[in-house]
Structures are given as structure tokens and as C-alpha cells.
Amino acid sequence: MPASVVVAAGRLRQAIGRSPSWRGPNPLRFSSEPYPAQAAAVRDAFLSFFRDRHRHRLVPSASVRPRGDPTLLFVNAGMNQFKPIFLGTVDPRSEMAGFRRVANSQKCVRAGGRHNDLEDVGRDLSHHTFFEMLGNWAFGGEYFKEEACSMAWELLTQVYGIPKDRLWISYFGGDPNTRLNPDLESRDIWLSLGVPASHVLSFGPQENFWEMGDTGPCGPCTEIHYDLADGVGAPQLVELWNLVFMQHNREADGSLQPLPQRHVDTGMGLERLVAVLQGRHSTYDTDLFSPLLNAIQQGCGAPPYLGRVGAADEGRIDMAYRVVADHIRTLSVCIADGVSPGTSGAPLVLRRILRRAMRFSTEVLRAPLGFLGSLVPVVVETLGDTYPELQKNSAQIANLVSEDEAAFLASLQRGRRIIDRTLRRLGPSDLFPAEVAWSLSMSGDLGLPLDLIELMLEEKGMRLDSAGLARLAQEEAQHRARQAEPVQEQGLQLGIHALGELQHRGVPPTDDSPKYNYCLLPSGGYEFSTCEAQVLQLYTEDGTAVASVGEGQRCGLLLDKTNFYAEQGGQASDRGYLVRVGQQDVLFPVARAQVCGGFILHEMVAPECLKVGDQVQLYVDKAWRLGCMEKHTATHLLNWALRQALGPGTEQRGSHLNPERLRFDVATQAPLTPEQLRAVESTVQKAVGQDEAVYMEEVALAHTAHVPGLRSLDEVYPDPVRVVSVGVPVAHALDPASQAALQTSVELCCGTHLLHTGSIGDLVIIGERQLTKGTTRLLAITGEQAQQAREVGQSLAQEVEAAAERLSRGSRDVVEAQQLSKDVGRLTDAIDTAVMPQWQRRELQATLKVLQRRANTAVRKLEMGQAAQKTQELLQRHSGPLIVDTVSTESLSVLVKVVRQLCEQAPSTSVLLLSPQPLGHVLCACQVAQSATPAFTAEAWALAVCSHMGGKAWGSRMVAQGTGSTADLEAALSTARAYALNQL
């Protein structure tokens, strides 16, 4: 291979292994009549080419919010919406089942999860969290490699006018480990299209073999790369287009089997294509971004964008331009598709993106308040014609961005002061303390994302204590796991002697009434008041009272009052942080709060010294508290709905809730039926949809004694007691003549609750099991999680319907029947473990049980028929005491049936059959005649043959089977004959 090609191959490996920074030496130049390369024209030309020249159906982009696919945070590739076709689970009655040739431009987000470009955005000239993927697909063998390559070459060289000598090709060079041959078919197609052999390079499976996941459809891919150097020096290659040829299926055991139907799946990033066509070094220098970059400069008054990176980018101004421009596109697209910044999953990732954009806009670009929201119309102008949901939701997007921006700015300023103060007391070789970073990230409304903290430290030349951070993250995960368990976690406790000492000193119980000081804002958000308190006592981990605690010390904190909700009544403790009055730049993160004999003990790790007598301000974690409020109000509605569905005698046996989910134990005479579970959910949904007011009031305990229908647990309540009533004022609910408590949820409860039920969003019961005889435990989720669970359930229900339809049509052959049986089994496993409505799970499980029996019966009938045919063919060719031969069949099950039928029809004959499979694999089955044993055993016979093929065997004296791999089948047959003749 010439040296220049070797260098090119090295460049190509880098381009395949990572998305490179675009640093071409000169602006690109094409023919004398260049393509009109505005981004909108490039996109339209792609779609028109496939629609008009090659009869493809244009389909709209799917939402970036995955529908019914819990494996994804965001849609990150054009093929996501077509997964049912690739997996063979598409409903035959659906519109998608009719897709043959399809093209589109798909909105994609790669942030969080398996594909995560978030932390690279801004550092170079090419990474994005949001991008558009141009793709064309051929399903079910509509066309394959030759047509796909020809279309791609035609579009790039004839329509877009890219010089042919600037294009390089990579193809799959084979994999000896899996016995996969090189994809010479693709190589030859490119050569026939006129690509020079020096521009066609082969690579292994890591670069040129595409897999959907650990199992499922997969196949070789060929990629088209563009040379930025234009013949000046060594090639600088960037990937333009990936053509995937799905022709294999990765089985659960890791083996590859041929797909019954082959598919073409291609993807080309619009941003990179536009940069090539517009002769730009960077995707940010195209008209997809230039309007945003201009708006950023005008809105901030910053120096103009110059496209610098690394050390050349003084003050990281150009990096800030790229971050803000990329992130506001991502935010706009996601919010338009129904993903709003939040506290978990995709919403949490979006919140990180929003806060990262805020930080760069305010601290680096010195943007004014409300600046990010002002960029939304620019995004709508550039993308709205293609994605009309942006135009429809533009006002909502801008408002949401602006609200979060205003709320975060104060926190960002405080976070910066805390970092600066900490750095001043560190030596040059010290690591930034993990406890401080953790407190910044976990302290409620402060909530600086850890990646943002690391970036802020990196700018100051400081490294974070990653090992300490990992330890704290592990402790937090363990704490959350324990919270989900029935047994309450035991943290720091006040023993009998400590309580006695407090009582002896006349210390009054902690005033925790400020925990109820919150209100609903006109915007729909909640505002939680802070609380100023005095440190009365500090305790070490073993419960010893001390006057002060030092840096890094785990301790308990007793205050005269608090706004933290201490864990009780099944509601998880609040968490948050406190600061000393007058010293706002040191955060003391509070992990939990517990009730100990009327006193509230706050558990924390002190970042600095704290003393008895200090005045502090307390801040609850707003997102955590709101999550608990949602779940607690939902628990009350669930309790009421259960009584509606099961009768007034239904009794609660306990509950536990945190922001993630709620657990509810109820006394039942029998397990709940799917109909009852569905009715309970429906009742809760109705109350949520009506957005009923939630009333809370303290009343004399005696006033609650004779209210009909009032729900209370068998426990001691304080006097006065807090009453929570949904939809009906407390005074009216407690009027014995009103009967209101029979018509809605009214309970005695000290917990914190929503002020309107609408904030619950939705409720789905996702689990149900018998704890003991007569007690059922229900697990439920709310809000966005509940909506996703419904979508997962709907998606799985459609797959079950599709499987039933396929089964009713019958299978043409054994392979198709076996695949259907496997699909039913896979669906059963998926439904058993999916987060979905429990009533729907139970219904689908019952349906699948019937389908599995029918599918297995169909397989057996087809296998028996195929085996009978093979048996007759073999009997016509063989006679005597020994049959050793090959049989063409796709499964070991059929092979075993052929052996069995042969021995039934020729009882004195011993039989061993081999069946060659793809990629050199071989199946083996044998049975020895009764008269030949015990000297001659099937297990030993199969082992001898399979060992010769480098495989394994198993069985008994009479029957055995096995597998192996060989390219010389005749040698294996000779081994089988020789062994048998020696034994007979």
C-alpha cells in the first residue's frame, strides 16, 4: 500500500473512531457552478431526490421524545422510529407495515445515555447535542447494497456536485473471531461506480459492522468520507454518510443468524453535509448557525465569533458562542416535543443543558437577564418551516427558558462564590474537595450540575477529587435504595440519655411548623420559604453531644425550628442545605431529617466548623420536596380510589413514598383483578384531570371522631390534628351532616401536599404483589414517569396484537414459525420486566400465554412435517445398520426429530446427522440402536464428532446432540463413520 494511502487510512481510523474537529486548511471549492447550498435547499434536495427520482415515501420526523422505548432518553438516530420493522414486530395492519422505500430528516438528540456528546459541545467545531439526520431506508429487501450505494453516489456527486476525488469509502473487512467474511460485494460495487481502489479501504467490526444492541438485527456498513485537505498534504477525512446493510440477527447466545428479510438503513448528518457544501471548516460556520451567532453577538455585545478553539480561544468566548447556539436549538426542539427540564431521566439531562447554556451566556458572554429566551424566535425562524411544532410552541418555549434562567442565575452566582472561596484556602497541588462539589450539586435549588462544576474548576486550573465524588455518589445511591425498602433506614439517632438530657435542660421540642410555609405562584410553580434558626446542639455519629464539629465530620444537628419535613407517616425526609447567617458562601448539605422524641435531628457532613449558638438559614431542596408532595397527594387519591373500587371496608396497611415512586399496602380479601386496577387508576386520573384544590387545616382531634368515611390509620394523632381534604374545604368535610368525606379523599395527615391535584399529572400502578395473606402491596409512579409507562404499555400491546395477527395468518415454514415463537417469548420477558400499567401487564401476560402455546404447537407441526420429508429422503438413500449423512435444516430441534423418526422406522439402525449452518457452524444429532448398546453410546459418538469440530456435545446412552464449527464437513462425516464402525 502506498505511503499516502497508509496515512489516509490512519486519518480514516481517527475519523471513524471519533468525530474530528474541523480544521481544514482552506475554504472548500467545488465546480464553477456550485450547488445552491443553503441548509434548507440541501435538506429539500435530499428529500426530493429520494421521493422524485427513486420513489421513496417521505415520512415526518418522529418526536425526540421516545414513544414506548424505555431504552432511550432521546431519539438519537433516524432508525429509532422504524425499530418495529427491523425487529419484525410491526403490526401487519399498521401503516408502517406497508413501508418499503422511506426517506426523512429526523430530529436527533445525543446527550445522556449511550450516545452523549454534551461535554464535547463547544470544545471543538463539530459536536452538537441536537442535529438532523438525513436517511433513506429499504425494508424487506426492496433494494439492497447495489442500489443504496448507487443512489448515495448519484446524490453526492451529481446533485450536490461534490468532486469524486474528494470522496473516500470504507467497507467491512471481515472478522476472523466470528467467522464473518469481508463485504467484498460492497467493495466491488464502489469500484464499479468508479471509485479508485486507493480510496476504498477496509476496516474491522468496530468501524464497519453496525449493531442495534446486544441482540437484534445487525450487519456490515459502508461509509462515505470527505477529504477536507483537497489533495494538499495527507487526507483529512470526515464521515459524511453511513449505509448499513442489515442482513444478520445477533442471537441471545451471541451467534449470528441470517435475517429472513434484509433492510437498508442509512444516515447522513445535515449539519456536516451543509458545512461541506458551503465550503466551511466548521458546522457552526453554516447558515444553520450563523443567524444564532449573529443574534448572540447583538444581544450580548460580545466580540464577534471567530471560530477559535483551545488555547487560541482566549476567555473561551468562541466556545461560549458554540455552547449557547447548540443548546438553545436542543432546548427549543425538546420542549416543542414535550420534554421539559426536570429532575430525572431526559428532563434532568435537559435541565443540565439549560443550566450549561445559562452559565456560558451570563459568565462568559455577559448576557443580560432573559437573553436565552430571546434566542428562541431565531431557532424557530431557521427550523420552524421544517418542524412546525416549533412555530406552534414558540411562546411556551421562550417562557419556560426565561423562567428557569431567572431562577438559576442567583444560584450560579452563589456557586461561583463558593468555588472561589474554597480555592483560596487550597494549595496548588490540592484537589478540589468532593464534599463541596457534592453540596453544590445536591443542594436543592442551587443544583449546579457536576459536569458544570468540573468545567468551572478546569477553567481555573483545578482538578476535582473524583474518587471522593464517586464515594459520595455511591453512598447516595445506597441511601436511595434503602429508602425504597419497607424497613426504614436507620441514620443518626438520639438515644434515651440524649433525650433525657434535653428534657432536663428544658429544651422545647423543635418547632417544625415552617415546613408548611409554601405557596403556589401564578406561573404554576411553588415557592418554599426559608427558615432562620439557632443551633441548639450538635451530635457525633455515635450520639455524643458536642459543642462544635469540624470539616468533613458527619454529625447530627438540633435546631430550635426547621422548615424540613422529618421522615414520618410514610413520607421520605426532606433534604437541602443550610448556611450560616452572614456567611452565604459555605453550604452545609442536609441529607435527611428524623423525628426523635419530638426533636428534629438533621443529618449532614460539615464542610467547615459549625458551633452551638450559630444562627443559620435553611433551604429545602425544592425539586425533592415537590416530588414528595406529588406522591403524597397521589397516595391519598389512591387510597380513596381503592375504597371506591373495593368497597368502604378497604383499609390501608401502610405506605412509603419518595420523589421516585410510592408504595401502598392495602388489606384485600383477594388479589386485585386487572379490571379493578384499571378502575382505580381511572378514578385517580379523573381527580387529577379536574385539578381539584387540596385543603389543609389543623382542627381539634375531637372534631374528627365521628365524621363518616374519614380515613385515618391506627396510630396516635396529635391534638390539634392536621386534616387534608381534596376538593372540599376542611370545615365542610368535617360537618357530619355533609357526607362530603364519603365523596372525596379526606384524611388525617401531617405530611406536605400539593395545593392542586393537577400537578400530579398522572398515576400508574406499575407493580402489585401479595405481602401476606390478605395484604397487597402496590407500587405506583406519577407525572412524566407515568406517561412514559403508559406509552411503553401501549407499544407492547401493539406488539402483542401484531404477534397475534402473524400467528393467525400462519407460517410458511419452520424458520418463520420459530421466529414467531421466539418473538412471543421475547415479548413475554419484556412485559414481565417493563415499567408499565400493572392491569395491562396482567392482561398481556394472559394473552401471551395462549399465543405461546399456539406458536409452539405450530412449530412442532411444521417441524414434524419437515422431519418426515427429510426422513423419507434419507431412507431412500440409505440401508443397513448405520446412517451418517448431512441434512439441510435450520434448527437442532428438526434435526433431532429426523433422527428419531429414522430410528423409529429402522429400529436396528444407528443414525448420526450433521446440518451445516451459516458462518461454518454445524449442528449434530444422533441415536444408537438398542441392540448396539451398551458398548456403543450416543453421547460418546456425538462427543467424538463434535470434539473433532471444536465443539461440545451432550445427551445419554441412546440419544445425543451437539454443535461445532468446521469448513471440512466430509472430514467430520468420516470421523463419525469411523467411530461407529469401530464400535459396532
Q: Which residues are annotated as a binding site for Zn(2+)?
A: 632, 636, 749, 753
540 burial type by CB count under 10 A (0-12 exposed, 13-18 middle, 19+ buried): middle
Whether the Cβ atoms of residue 573 and residue 566 lie closer than 8 Å to each other: yes
562 burial type by CB count under 10 A (0-12 exposed, 13-18 middle, 19+ buried): buried
Tell which residue, 620, 618, 613, has the closest CA to residue 442.
Answer: 620
Up-side HSE of residue 155: CA atoms within 13 Å toward CB?
Answer: 27
Whether the Cβ atoms of residue 7 and residue 234 lie closer than 8 Å to each other: yes
For the annotated binding site, the residues are 632, 636, 749, 753
Whether the Cβ atoms of residue 8 and residue 231 lie closer than 8 Å to each other: no
Q: What are phi and psi of 926, to 5 degrees?
A: -150, 160
Show the cell assigned to 930.
438398542
Whether the Cβ atoms of residue 377 and residue 398 lie closer than 8 Å to each other: yes
- Alpha-carbon torsion (911, 917, 922, 924), positive or negative: negative
Per-position DSSP letters for 83-146, written without gaps between them: HHHHHT---TTSSGGG-SEEEEEEEEE--SSSS--GGGTTTSSS--SEEEEEEEEE-TTSS-HH
Tell which residue, 442, 251, 249, 40, has the closest CA to residue 963.
Answer: 251
Residue 500 contacts by C-beta under 8 Å, 6 or more apart in sequence?
A: none
Query: What's the CA gap between 656 and 46, in Å, rounded?
Result: 54
| CA 483 to each of CA 369, 515, 625, 661, 813: distance values in angstroms, whole numbers, following the listed order | 39, 21, 15, 10, 52
| CA 827 to each of CA 211, 377, 802, 841, 848: distance values in angstroms, whole numbers, following the listed order | 20, 44, 11, 11, 8
Whether the Cβ atoms of residue 405 and residue 370 lie closer than 8 Å to each other: yes
Whether the Cβ atoms of residue 215 and residue 250 lie closer than 8 Å to each other: yes
Tell which residue, 302, 358, 339, 345, has the closest CA to residue 130.
Answer: 339
Show the cell assigned to 226.
470527505
Residue 96 contacts by C-beta under 8 Å, 6 or more apart in sequence?
A: 82, 84, 85, 90
Q: What are phi and psi of 439, to 5 degrees?
A: -65, -35
Show the cell assigned to 451.
459536569
485 burial type by CB count under 10 A (0-12 exposed, 13-18 middle, 19+ buried): exposed
Q: What are phi and psi of 672, to 5 degrees?
A: -70, 140
Residue 522 contacts by C-beta under 8 Å, 6 or more apart in sequence?
A: none
Residue 378 contacts by C-beta under 8 Å, 6 or more apart in sequence?
A: 291, 292, 295
What b/e string do you get for 35-58 counting C-beta neighbours within 10 Å, with b at 16 or more?
A: bebebeebbebbbebbeeebebee
Show the cell assigned to 914.
450433521
| CA 312 to each of CA 286, 289, 300, 307: distance values in angstroms, whole numbers, following the listed order | 21, 21, 21, 10
Query: What's the CA gap between 693 and 755, in Å, rounded?
Result: 6
Task: Tell me the chain's radius of gyration from C-alpha atoms.
Answer: 34
Residue 705 contacts by C-beta under 8 Å, 6 or more apart in sequence?
A: none
Query: What's the CA gap between 490 and 555, in Å, rounded?
Result: 14
Residue 915 contacts by C-beta under 8 Å, 6 or more apart in sequence?
A: 886, 887, 888, 889, 892, 895, 922, 923, 924
Per-position DSSP letters for 858-922, written without gaps between them: HHHHHHHHHHHHHHHHHHHH--SSEEEEE---S-HHHHHHHHHHHHHHSTT-EEEEEEE-GGGEE
